[in-house]
Amino acid sequence: MGRLVMKFGGTSVADIDRIRNVARHVEREVKAGNHVAVVVSAMAGTTNQLVEWCRQAAAVHDAREYDAVVSTGEQITAGLLAIVLQDMGIPARSWAGWQIPIETDGVHGAARMTNINGDEILKRMEQGQVAVITGFQGIGPDKRVSTLGRGGSDTSAVAVAAALDAACDIYTDVDGVYTADPRIVTAARKLDRISYEEMLEQASLGAKVLQTRSVELAMVYKVPLQVRSSFEPPDSANQNKPDGTGPGTIVCDEDKIVEQHVVSGIAYSRDEAKVSIRRVKDQPGVSAAIFGPLAEADISVDMIVQNLSPDGAFTDITFTLARKDLRKAIEVISAMKGKVGYEEVVHSADVAKVSVVGIGMRSHAGVAAKMFKSFADKGINIQAITTSEIKVSVLIDEAYTELAVRALHQAYGLDKK
């Protein structure tokens, strides 16, 4: 008899019919003899609506009250699913994060979980009661609800699984992790397995099928993690097997992956912006004078490009950052003009980052070269490049995002089995 955490995302619980469908997936696992906890997201669109209401109420608002509002979406789903399960004769009880409690560091809107006391939940699960837990939230040291950042229910589910020593199935609107976002690449293929490392890169480079932090936690706590679809019929014959495989994609250690590819996937992110600071002095200390104040303002910088200065006296510095931080970054840079002494600052939000990911890159040369060749063939200009051991990312004009992702998918042979 196993312990299982089943997480259902927003589209999977979008209305009462879908919640009933989810309940049937839960019923199947309970009948198979598993002790089950469920983690739910808000119904599709609800969190966006709640965020928008906060914005309309006041453009700048108290982060504690933002959390009080946006955490309610998950509370609705948890209660509704518990009602439906009870109606089907399955003992169930809903739990808000604070009731368990799921403790966080209290950073409102971007909290991290610090501790989960699973005792009460475990006791009840062993008596056959299904725990339906709100994703995306916990309670901070200030005794207030704190949310984990958008997409945070994935992380709640993995953390609950780690606390309960359970496996974790993430149910979503696709049947696994693909070689690229199946919404934009029709030839994308479902992967049977992906390593934690590759999934971590994919997530942090924009593949929002899992929140990045959820993959980090799964990797650290060795949580058996699967991404699968809630839209597969609950009574389908294709279900989890005792050997740990299942109908979806298993995220696991790389030594459990038999068939290795150099590149396992293409990711993209439109959440990018670019800033260029023109004609700064080419001398020691200038980068520190620019990036120090940005870091102090809590702005994370991603790619950095410094041009060779033709005259040895002045240079241009270009960097990328999250689009949401662009306005703040421009304010910080304007404030440093007197000290740094640049000529002008130009910026653009019409950029996207496209990345190829694969652990095989560690031992294979030519991955980046193939990427550049494929962009050259399509006439796509590369504005910045960054690499790590298992990924190459480039910044391009946003308008070419889909073309670029499809071209790379083909260039690395991912269209073919």
Cα separations in angstroms, 290 against 19, 274, 320, 359? 50, 15, 13, 34
Q: Which is nearer to ligand ASP, 109 or 360 (CB)?
A: 109
Nearer to ligand ASP, 118 or 151 (CB): 151
Q: Which two tokens stand for residue 369?
A: 């070269």
Q: Does 206 bind Mg ion (CB under 5 A)?
A: no
Residue from 97, 151, 152, 206 that binds Mg ion (CB under 5 A)?
151
Asked whether position 135 contacts ligand ADP by CB under 6 A, the answer is no
Q: What does the alpha-carbon distance between residue 236 and residue 238 come to, in Å, rounded to a whole number?
A: 5
125 token code pair: 């699960």
Long-range contacts of 17-21 (CB under 8 A, 24+ apart): 18/230, 19/77, 19/80, 19/81, 19/84, 20/84, 21/230, 21/234
Q: Minimum distance from CB of 245 to ligand ADP (Å)?
A: 18
Q: What letter represents residue 393's amino acid? A: S
Query: By C-beta, is 194 or 329 nearer to ligand ADP?
Result: 194
Binding status of residue 178 toward ligand ADP by CB under 6 A: yes
Is position 207 an interface residue for ligand ADP (rule: CB under 6 A)?
Answer: yes
Return the range that interacts with ligand ADP (CB under 6 A); candidates 174-182, 216-224, 281-289, 307-315. 174-182
> What would the two tokens of residue 113 be?
């979980």
Residue 11 found at the interface with ligand ADP (CB under 6 A): yes
Q: Is 47 in the site for ligand ASP (CB under 6 A)?
A: yes
Q: Considering the complex, what minimum distance in angstroms separates the CB of residue 149 from ligand ASP?
A: 8
* Distance, CA of 295 to CA of 304 (rounded, Å): 14
Q: List the one residue from 8, 95, 136, 268 that touches ligand ASP (CB under 6 A).
A: 136
Stretch that binds ligand ADP, among 19-27, 84-92, 133-141, 207-215 (CB under 6 A): 207-215
Q: Which residues contact 35 (CB under 8 A, 6 or more apart)?
A: 1, 2, 3, 4, 125, 126, 128, 166
Paired strand residues for 190: 178
Span interacting with ligand ASP, options 40-48, 298-306, 320-328, 380-388, rule CB under 6 A: 40-48
Distance CA 288, CA 119 (A): 49
Instruction: Using CB under 6 A, list all residues that contact ligand ADP.
Output: 9-12, 41, 151, 172-174, 177-178, 180-183, 202, 207-209, 265
Instruction: Using CB under 6 A, list all residues that contact ligand ASP.
Output: 9-10, 41-42, 47, 73, 135-136, 150-154
